[in-house]
Amino acid sequence: MKYFIPAWHKQYNDWSINIPSIENYDAAEYMTVLKKFDEEIGLIITDYQPQLLSKLNQIAFFPNTLFSVYDFLQGVHGFENKVLELEDFNWPKNAIFDYGPFRTLIVLENKLYATVFYDIDGHILRISYPENDEHKAFTLGIDSRGFISNQDDEEKTIYFDPYGNWRFKKDKTTDKITVNPETHFCKRREYENITDLVDEILSRYLKVNAKNNDEIIVTVDDESSFNNEIIEPYKPLYIINRHHPYSKKIGSLAKAKVIVSSNEIKQNLEKNYREQFDISVIPVFNSEFRLGHSQRQNVQEIGFFAENANDEDIHQIIQKLCNYILKNPDNYSLKIFTYNFWKADHVNKILEQIKEENKNSFILGKSEQAENAPIDGLDDEVSLPELDVVHTRLTNISDVLSNLDKMRLLINWGKADELMQISGVSIGIPQVQNFSSATVVDNKNGRIIKKISELLPVVDEYLTNLNSWNQTVVYNVQLMNQYSEENIIEKWKEVFKERKAE
């Protein structure tokens, strides 16, 4: 069995403020590939995750064994799942329900009695009760399996079992944990903090279940909910995930085997910790060669991934690309990509600036052309050229692949994004960037440049020289082997083999 202990901290937001985005569930890609090649996977979750099953459904991954520390603490064993509806709660007889698209307000005698929040799937996520003459403000958290999971107020959090019995409480002032004396799931009635309680349960689980030939694979995480001393006797494999801070925790680890996703992370570790770790590079995202369809398009699409670029560079790059497209607006178009909601907002503002600065030279976007078109020949002025420039915020992996499918060229700026880079290689397109990465080799399947002033000649080379573009396709096909599922699993097997030989 390969037991993974990932860094899954984040919980679902309610629907009203949930912003669709690409979710990177730590270690999910590794677990998926290993399980696909018949490795037995155990998933150990040490954080409070009342929507855990919803998350597993979202990523379509189901481990061979699943152990949630909080499920154990809350006595969730063999509970039959159900979807909680408003009718399942005991509301006051004269309550009025005001149904909104994101939440439901319950009003009693012209006063707000409670607010019901929903997750993105429309399931009840939590219920908040404002302060009144009878009680202080508090919130009920709902487990996606259909029961009240906790009650939270400014002083404490109480955790329940599926049948409404309290199991333990956390004092928010002191962090102390008090366990229901009528229960017998742990050794003590009080703990200094939740970490002590999690340590106890995790240690017991591993002692009973982890066998000599099993592997414990743990994400190095500064926000870890357990102490590393609990797992050190099992000589764990450690994973570095760039999405989770690890600088505080990594230095305290004993000499160990570490898995990283890129040579860049490996080089940083070797520089800072010298010979403390034995490091292997195993890509997170596997590739399936899905050659794009840009060669079938009359208009050649240029892609610009702006997520990791600063505002000044974004402005310069878009302006230069607009000037390039302006020479032949019928044959070229530009798509700008971001992930983050706030980054997308920045890009939109930059586009508005460029529109204003170039209002006498060109029009951005097809919709504006229609709005500003001459009416019945009354406008004698020459119409401005229209540039097909579109900004898209990518919210899932399917978005990435579908948007790159007809792309002729991809520009990355700032730093590497593993998903975007491997997707570009999978589609077979050249990538131009101002940084080094394992997936783009200068003059093979793209170009590494230093300054924005070097950009347009390289863009022109790939858009007008078919030989350069074809060379990229050939090299990307070769590169695919390194990032194929088969190669990734071989890298894992090599690591496991070395571990057994020790």
307-345 confidence digits (pLDDT tens): 999 999 999 999 999 999 999 999 999 999 999 888 999
Residue 100: pLDDT band with limits 50, 70, 90: confident
pLDDT, tens digit, for every residue of 197-230?
A: 999 999 999 999 999 899 999 998 888 899 999 9
**Cα(159)–Cα(179) distance, integer angstroms:** 10
Spatial contact of 142 and 125, defined as CB atoms under 8 Å apart: yes
Neighbours of 365 (CB within 10 A): 16
pLDDT of residue 289: 45
Tell me the domains of the chain and their CATH numbers. 2-77+195-281 (3.40.50), 86-187 (no CATH), 294-483 (3.40.50.2000)
Spatial contact of 140 and 151, defined as CB atoms under 8 Å apart: yes
**Angle at alpha carbon of residue 34, lines to 29 and 39, rounded to 5°:** 150
**Cα(96)–Cα(128) distance, integer angstroms:** 16
pLDDT of residue 14: 55
348 pLDDT exceeds 90?
yes
- Among 176, 219, 167, 217, smallest CA distance to 194 is for 176
What three-state secondary structure class fits 44?
Answer: strand
Neighbours of 222 (CB within 10 A): 12
> Which residue is listed with tokens 């020949």?
377
Q: What's the N-to-C CA distance of the chain in angstroms? A: 18
One-letter amino acid of 29? E
pLDDT, tens digit, for every residue of 365-378?
A: 764 444 444 444 44
What three-state secondary structure class fits 148?
Answer: strand
Q: What is the DSSP letter of 89?
A: S
- Among 238, 245, 242, 244, smallest CA distance to 262 is for 242
**Cα(153)–Cα(138) distance, integer angstroms:** 5
**Cα(113)–Cα(111) distance, integer angstroms:** 6
pTM over 0.85: no
399 pLDDT exceeds 90?
no
**Cα(78)–Cα(293) distance, integer angstroms:** 49
pLDDT, tens digit, for every residue of 424-461?
A: 988 889 999 999 988 899 999 999 999 999 999 999 99
- What are the residues whose beta carbons fall under 8 Å from the beta carbon of 428, sequence distance 6 or more? 289, 291, 292, 472, 473, 476, 477
> Which residue is listed with tokens 């190669």?
487
Relative to beta strand 363-364, strand 386-387 is parallel
- What are the residues whose beta carbons fall under 8 Å from the beta carbon of 278, sequence distance 6 or more? 255, 256, 257, 258
Residue 212: C-alpha distances to residues 5, 143, 227, 234, 444 (Å):
17, 35, 21, 8, 46
Over range 56-80, report the average pLDDT: 88
Q: Is 498 left (phi over 0), alpha (psi -120 to 50) or beta?
A: alpha
- What are the residues whose beta carbons fall under 8 Å from the beta carbon of 499, sequence distance 6 or more? 215, 235, 237, 257
